[in-house]
Chains A and B, each alone.
Chain A
Amino acid sequence: MLIYGMRASIPVFFLALTAFGGANCVLADAPRVTAVLSNSEAAVGQTVQLQIKVMGDRAAEAPENIAVDGLEINRTGTEQHFEMNNFNVSSSVIYNYTILPLKSGTFKIPPQTVRIRSSSLRTPELTLNVADSPGRSSSSRSNRNLQPGDANKLVFAELIVPKKIAFVGEMVPVEIRLGFDPRAHPKLVDGPEITGQGFTAQKLQQSQENLETINGRSYDVVTFKTAVAAARAGKFEIGPVKAKAQVSLPRTPSTSRSRSRSPFDLFNLDDPFSDPFFADPFGQSERRELDVESEPATFEVKPLPANAPPSFSGAVGNFTMTTDAKPKNVQAGDPITVTSTISGRGNFDRVNAPAFEDERGWHKYPPSSKFKQDDDVGISGAKTFETVISPNEKKQALPPLAFSYFDPLKEKYVTLRNDAVPISVQGGAPASPNAVASQPAATAPATVAAKPSPKPQDILYQLTERPARVQSFTPLFARPIFWIAHLIPLAALLGFAGWKIRQAKIDNREARRIGALHQESTDLLRRLRRGEVSPQEYFSDASRAVRVKTALAKNVDPNAVDAEMAAATFQLDENSRAQLHRLFERSDELRYSGRPNGTGTISPENRREVLELIENLRV
């Protein structure tokens, strides 16, 4: 019904998101627990809400009842919240308790143990100031102007500054409560806004909305939370808080005249029929804008002490530091990511990355940071810094990291140093002794005496010999001699190619000659078989046939062949050898005797013998 009213807890929607998350669903990091009071000041009989919030694990068991003398604390319900950020689903369980103060005084609600599976966490101790009567519960509350009959009774504003003394830069939580009479159908038009100078304020966050009964009237109370930090020392006045709201008022001829009381409101109580709507059910009411303003609050700001450590960057609060590095085995020059997390409560906007106390032998890159807040206003959470460093030499551990802050409770500076993170760096020069000695004293055993630094190894002797020839950086392939030298194999290759080509040509001529001899041999045998020639021609052809066959067998000139060579070539027996001799003699005789052709004949036996002799000439 109210203005700010859309609650985002739609179970179906969250269930769908959880299902969508599937395997990527990461249920936060380590479980954490916080406890907050809706108001740190109350009056006797005025209820205050206590919330114990467990993040990171839903299987937590909070106590049903909390026993504090003078307070009645009962658990009133449990809420489950899911949050999805970059597909990482984080869940939290909120256990709500109602605290009813039974008497006035300052009450300490002790740390409560919340069991989470096999481990247990403890909530911080909380303080509740209880006044003896509602009208004096707090200074701000007493300033409310809720006189009956005044239009302002429909709305009110309240500024609660729980801390009256702070240090420069210290985050002071501030609560703004705006109350609206629900029957006036109020609508917040502008604000709320904190006015004042000399301090910075976090963005206002609407934290809750309750129906409260104040001075016998019901109000929808919207609570805004923020935190302020003073920029300088001195006395400050915060506020007033200003806001603008629209309300419905009955349109009457005389606004001074009070509206007729409902017949059911006999005792001037807030019965529903006293609502302006019932007084003017047909739209006779009008909307009016009202300025809502609270009383200002004052607080004193003390300066920070002068002896700030070198690594102090202005962080004020209470912090812890954890450090890790990945990878731990690297080569010299390889990057190592150092992750340092500053968690706690304070002004995180002034929390800078922890500083390396000894950067010698390291090369450092600018860090990146990420802040995850645990509360509504961002004064509680964890700021994670990732710094990439690379070793220039052999190292056995990361350089120590230091982070300084001012603790307003202890009122002194605190410097956090991490434990030595062992790493292994291969390659490069060995670590300088100074770098090793600069490890934090807490991590180094006190009994170990410092080893004397090894004396640097000396270089080798001079060489007094000079080579006879001058050397060159020019690579061999860029020198002319390299390419000139290629002329030798090139010439050899060309010579080889020429020789092979010539050889091929020669082989071709020889083949033609052999072919011609084969042809001649075939023709001669054909003529000898016919026997139609004169004896002179016959024997001449026969001896020629023998010569050709021998020439083919021995690859020689046929004219150089005689009977003996032919007989030796074909390895003839004595009879054939004699026959061959006779054939050659007869051929010579007939060729050189001068007898005319055709004077004699050759007997068929002679012819057959000669043919058989020639045909049987085989190698």
Chain B
Amino acid sequence: MKQLIADLCCRRRPLGGATCVCFGKSASRFAERSVYSAIICAFLASSAFAQSDAEFTKANTNYAAGHFQEAVNSYETLVRSGEWSANLFYDLGNAYFRVGDLGHAILNYERALALDRHHPEADANLRIVRDEARALEMQSSWPERYFQFGSLNQYSVVAAVAFWLGMFCVFGLIFGRRRSAAIITLSILSFSTLVIAAFAVYKLENGNTGRALAIVTGTGVEARFATADSANSVLALPPGSEIKILSTSGDWIYAALPNNLRGWLPAKSAELVQL
């Protein structure tokens, strides 16, 4: 191994007509340590991945065998370890559906779609479970509805590209010998696109279905006018209903509710979609 590293680091013979540069003994040691570290990291990563892969397989096996609660536990272990993927949340949603927890099922389908908005299975199952749970949905504002054809990340990339294209155009106009109409038009288009894309990012991130979107996971949850169980009810929220968390006060959250209502509900009765 040492020889290999030394060979990789410092070749004294000409290589393809060029001469390799040797950095001396200390550089060789540094490279040696780096390679060792990289190998250890790769080993640990592959070991962890293999372990989580085994957990995933175990969860799937439990699910196939009809041991849905065990499957939920295994999937949840993977979620807690941060091994997130759309398929994992989708499978977890299925397992929750099988144990009759429709609120958590909807929550995990929503999470799968948050990671991959074109996940057809999660989309289909979400519709089925929503119908069964009679869950209420938040109404999207019209900009959100129009911007739904792209994802947040796509709009981020578009905004970045438009910005740099616009900047190059501006520099071209500054340093160019003559003001080209094409460059002026392109720069205007670029900055217009930047503004629209930035607005889309803002609306999708802060809208009703953005980062503050949460799902009611408890049963018999009622939004109330004040932070007390005895306060008047604003709206009964079936499990799986969407809310948008506006603020938190102790054990209560103040949320925008479907039907353009607002109310307080216990913090433990809802979970954010985006972890």
Q: Are A430 and B87 in contact (CB under 8 A)?
A: no
Instruction: Name the residue in B56, B132, B160, B205 with the highest tally of chain A Cβ atoms < 10 Å from its Cβ.
Output: B160
Chain B residues with Cβ below 8 Å from A457 are: 128, 131
Tell me whether B259 and A462 are in contact (CB under 8 A): no
B21 close to A (CB within 8 Å): no
Q: Give A58-97 as 1s and 0s: 1 = Cβ < 8 Å from B's Cβ atoms.
A: 0000000000000000000000000000000000000000
Any chain A CB within 8 A of the CB of B218?
no
Chain A residues contacting B168 (CB-CB under 8 Å) are: 489, 492-493, 496
Q: Are A467 and B85 in contact (CB under 8 A)?
A: yes
Hey, which chain A residues are within 8 Å of B84, CB to CB?
Answer: 470-473
Q: Which of A475-510 contact B (CB under 8 A)?
A: 475-477, 482, 485-486, 489, 492-493, 496-497, 500-501, 504
Q: Does A334 contact B (CB under 8 A)?
A: yes
B216 within 8 A of partner (CB): no
Give the interface residue-count category, chain B: 35 or more
Mark each residue of chain B from 107 to 136: 1 if its CB lies under 8 Å from any CB of chain A, else 0.
Answer: 000010011100001001100111111111
**A333 beta carbon closer than 8 Å to chain B:** yes
Q: Which residue of B lies closest to A332 (CB)?
A: B136
A465–B115 alpha-carbon span in the complex (Å) = 15
Q: Are A334 and B259 in contact (CB under 8 A)?
A: yes
* Contact assessment for A428 and B134 in the assembled complex, using a CB-CB cutoff below 8 Å: yes
Whether B36 sits at the interface, judged by CB under 8 Å, is no
Q: Which residues of A contact B259 (CB under 8 A)?
A: 333-335, 390
Q: Does the CB pair B128–A459 fall under 8 Å?
A: yes
Contact B156 A482 (CB under 8 A): yes
Known: A392-B238, A493-B164, A501-B175. A361 touches B125 (CB 8 A): no
Cross-chain pairs A/B with CB under 8 angstroms, 19 sampled? A361-B134, A363-B235, A390-B259, A393-B134, A430-B131, A457-B128, A459-B124, A459-B129, A462-B60, A463-B87, A466-B85, A466-B87, A471-B84, A471-B116, A473-B275, A475-B211, A492-B168, A497-B171, A497-B175
The answer to whether A466 and B56 touch across the interface, beta carbons within 8 angstroms, is yes
* Distance A427 CA – B131 CA, assembled complex (angstroms): 10
Partner-binding segment picked from B26-34, B88-96, B244-252: B88-96
Q: For A464, give the chain B residue with the smallest CB separation.
A: B60
Instruction: State the Cβ distance, B200 to closest chain A Cβ, in Å.
Output: 12
A475 to B155, CA, bound (A): 10
Is A460 positioned at the interface, with any CB of B under 8 Å from its CB?
Answer: yes
Q: Which chain B residues numbered 38 to 72 have a C-beta less than 8 Å away from chain A?
A: 53, 56-57, 60, 63-64
Cα distance A492–B167 in the bound complex, in angstroms: 11
A460 lies within 8 A of B160 (CB): no
Contact B53 A466 (CB under 8 A): yes
Q: Which residues of B contact A363 (CB under 8 A)?
A: 235-236
- A429 at the B interface (CB under 8 A): yes
Q: Does B266 contact A (CB under 8 A)?
A: no
Complex-state Cα separation, A333 to B237, whole angstroms: 11
Residue total for A at the interface (Cβ-Cβ under 8 A): 45
Q: Is B229 an interface residue (CB 8 A)?
A: no
Count chain B CB atoms within 10 A of each CB in A363, A390, A458, A497 and give the residue with the most.
Answer: A363
- B157 at interface by CB-CB < 8 Å: yes
- Measured between beta carbons, the chain A residues less than 8 angstroms from B160 are 482, 485-486
Q: Which residues of A contact B238 (CB under 8 A)?
A: 392
A429 to B129 CA separation, bound complex (whole angstroms): 10
Q: For residue A263, which residues in chain B have a CB less than 8 angstroms away from its CB?
A: none
Q: Other than the known A456-B128, A462-B94, A493-B164, what 17 A-B pairs have Cβ atoms closer than 8 Å?
A: A361-B134, A428-B136, A429-B134, A429-B135, A457-B131, A459-B125, A462-B60, A462-B64, A464-B60, A470-B83, A477-B156, A489-B164, A493-B168, A496-B168, A497-B175, A501-B175, A504-B175
**With a CB–CB cut-off of 8 A, which chain A residues contact B136?**
332-333, 392, 428
Which residue from chain B places its CB closest to the CB of A482 in the assembled complex?
A: B156
Interface SS majority for chain A: loop
Q: A335-B259, A429-B130 are in contact. Are A493 and B167 (CB under 8 A)?
A: yes
Q: How far is the CB of B44 from chain A (nearest CB, A)?
A: 15
Chain A nearest Cβ from B158, distance in angstroms: 11
Chain A residues whose C-beta falls within 8 Å of the C-beta of B131 in the assembled complex: 429-430, 456-457
A463 in contact with B91 (CB, 8 Å): yes
Per the bound structure, the CA–CA distance linking A390 and B259 in Å amounts to 9
A607 → chain B closest CB, angstroms: 43
What is the minimal beta-carbon distance from A517 to any residue of chain B, in angstroms? 22
Contact between chains at A467 and B87 (CB < 8 Å): yes
Those of A328-384 within 8 Å (CB) of chain B: 331-335, 361, 363
CB of B38, distance to nearest CB on chain A (Å): 18
The answer to whether residues A465 and B274 also contact, given A361-B134, A429-B134 and a CB cut-off of 8 A, is no
The interface residues of chain A lying within 8 Å CB-to-CB of B63 are 462
Given the known inter-chain contacts A464-B60, A482-B160, please indicate yes or no for A473 contacting B94, CB distance below 8 A: no
Judged by a CB distance under 8 angstroms, whether B256 is at the interface is no
Residues of A within 8 A of B17 (CB): none
Q: Residue on B with the closest CB to A431?
A: B134
B214 near A: Cβ within 8 Å?
A: no
Contacts A460-B124, A462-B60, A504-B175 given: A471-B86 contact, CB under 8 Å?
A: yes
B265 interface residue per 8 A CB criterion: no
The answer to whether A470 and B85 touch across the interface, beta carbons within 8 angstroms, is yes
Quick check: is B153 within 8 A (CB to CB) of the other chain? yes
State whether the Cβ of B147 lies closer than 8 Å to any Cβ in chain A.
Answer: no
The closest CB in chain A to the CB of B61 belongs to A464
Residues of B with C-beta under 8 A to A465: 87
Cα A317 to Cα B259 with chains together (Å) = 40
With the chains together, A497 CA to B83 CA distance in Å?
A: 44
A392 to B134, CA, bound (A): 7
Give the docked Cα–Cα distance between A476 and B171 (Å): 27
Q: Which residues of B contact A430 (CB under 8 A)?
A: 131
The docked-state distance in angstroms from the alpha carbon of A331 to that of B57 is 43
Docked-complex contact A476 and B258, CB < 8 angstroms: no
The 3 A-B residue pairs with the shortest CB-CB distance in the complex, in nearest-first order: A500-B175, A333-B259, A476-B153
A464 to B85, CA, bound (A): 12
In the bound complex, CA of A428 to CA of B153 (Å): 29
A473 to B275, CA, bound (A): 6
A332, B138: Cα distance in complex, Å: 11
The docked-state distance in angstroms from the alpha carbon of A361 to that of B238 is: 10
Chain A residues whose C-beta falls within 8 Å of the C-beta of B171 in the assembled complex: 493, 496-497, 500
Closest A residue, CB atoms, query B232: A366
In the bound complex, residues from chain A placing their C-beta under 8 Å from that of B274 are 473
Bits for A404-448, please: 1 = Cβ < 8 Å to B, else 0.
Answer: 000000000000000000000001111010000000000000000
Contact A473–B114 (Cβ < 8 Å): yes
